[in-house]
Each structure stands twice: as C-alpha cells, then as structure tokens.
Amino acid sequence: MSIYRNDGDGESEADAPKSGTDVRIVPLLPLRDIVVFPHMVVPLFVGRARSIQALEDAMENDRDLLLCAQCEAGEDEPGEGDIHEIGTLGTIIQLLRLPDGTVKVLVEGKSRARIVRFAATEPFFSCEIEPLVAEPEPAVESEALVRTVHAAFEKYVKLNKKVPPETLNTVMAIDDPGRLADTIVAHLNLKIEEKQELLETAGPARRLEEVYARMQAEGSRRSWANATSSRTNSTSSTSSSSRRPCRRRRATAPRRRSASSR
C-alpha cells in the first residue's frame, strides 16, 4: 500500500529531469518490484545484508537515501549496471527490526535524482547524486490539463473499486501537474517498466499527459470488462431458467456460486 503526502514539503513539481548543481553522496537502496515516486509514503521489507547496512547508515546520518528500481527484480545481488540511473531521493520515517532478521522501513519520496557515480559498493551501495530540476511551463495550459485529469480520475475511481474514496479528495486538491501525475500513477495497474518510464519522463505536463493516456486506456479496459461481465451474467441467468431440472433423486448437483470480485 502506498500513501501520498499532501503537504508543501519535498519536490516542487515543476520537476522535469534536468540536472541541478547540488551534488551529494547518499546510501542507495535497490528495489526489486516497486518504483517509489516523490511524495509517496510506502512500507518496504528489506532482507539483503547490503541493503540493511544502507538503511543503518542513513539512520545514523540524516535519514536520506536514494531509492532506485532494479532492472531485473530477480537479481539477488545487483551490481552497478543492474540498477536504474534515475530514482527518488527519500527519507526514512520509521524503521522496525523484525524477529526473522529482516527490516520493515517506512520511507517517503522527496524528489527525483540521478546517479552521477557509485562512491562505494561495499559494505553497501553509496552513490553521488544530483537532483533533477524542471523548467517552468505555461500556467494556462497546465491548468487546463489538470482540470481534464481531475475529471478523468473521478470517472476512473468509479470503475476501480480498489481505489479508496478518500484518495479522490486528495487528488482533486492537487493543482500541480507533476505532483498530480506522481500521485495518480500509484493507483494505475502498470508494469514496473512503465512506472520507471514515467519516473524518468521529462517535464511535469508531459508526464501528466502520459499518465492521463494510461489512465484512459485502463479505464476503457475496465468498462469493457464490466460490460462483458454484466452480459455474461445476464445470459447465464436466462439460460439457467430454461434448463431442464436434474433427474437425479439421491444426489443433488451443487449450486453454482458467482465469482466474487476482488
């Protein structure tokens, strides 16, 4: 589960991947099957020794670390070339050591960043990073796009029952294009590669347009699936009413159960 903060901290979402001048060295946490976006608050379960040491180093300092997705989730011991160059600078909110030796950590994404070079690979990954800063975009065009996406997301929530109702209120209160895109993307059914592509997409407005296109495509699929399911259930009910009764006396055929939606 992921949560989005709606305060004023973190990345200013005119945040296209354009290199800044600030360079710093932070611990790196490679992620197997998730892409963390700015303002996203998410729990992670960490078991690899190098990753746990990276967390410990971050806790001893300013709690900041770089969160980067692996190119291949199945790689147990990723090297420098197995980690995406662009990730999210995050901060540790809470860390809990579990009895089995793994660590549960709650992190919050703050801003996009690029790996400039690896400073160390042992005993954990640390890297020199630079922030990715965006250039300002025309306000009028951005405002129109935001209104369009707000309306589309409201329709999407009605089709996708997995999105909590309170999420709609959070999204409708966001008027920054980049932040809006990063908030919505967590609720879309996208592959890791697609989410990484959106994380790397330059320009808040362009990224929001990409999120809008994917949301519309998924919404269309859900509408078609719902319509097909309704027709199937209707046909099934009609055919069942005209079916001849079972002639068995001693053994009664079990009643069908309708499949529950998840």
CATH 1.20.58.1480 domain range(s) in the chain = 139-224
How many angstroms separate the CA atoms of 93 and 102, rounded? 17
Question: What percentage of the chain exceeds 90 in pLDDT?
Answer: 62
Which of 102, 101, 83, 103 lies closest to 92 in space, CA to CA? 103
Residue 28 vs residue 234, higher pLDDT = 28
With 60 as the cut, is the pLDDT of residue 224 above it?
Answer: no
One CATH from 3.30.465.10, 1.20.58.1480, 3.40.50.1390, 3.40.50.1970 for 139-224: 1.20.58.1480
* Cβ 43 vs Cβ 154: under 8 Å: no
Q: Any idea which residue has 């998730």 for tokens? A: 34
Predicted confidence at residue 229, as pLDDT, reads 52
Q: Is 235 helix (H, G, I), strand (E, B) or coil?
A: helix
Provide φ and ψ at 55, rounded to 5°: -65, -40
CATH 2.30.130.40 domain range(s) in the chain = 17-133
What fold does the segment set 17-133 form as a domain?
2.30.130
Query: What global pTM score does this model have?
Result: 0.76
Confidence of residue 251 (pLDDT cuts 50, 70, 90): very low
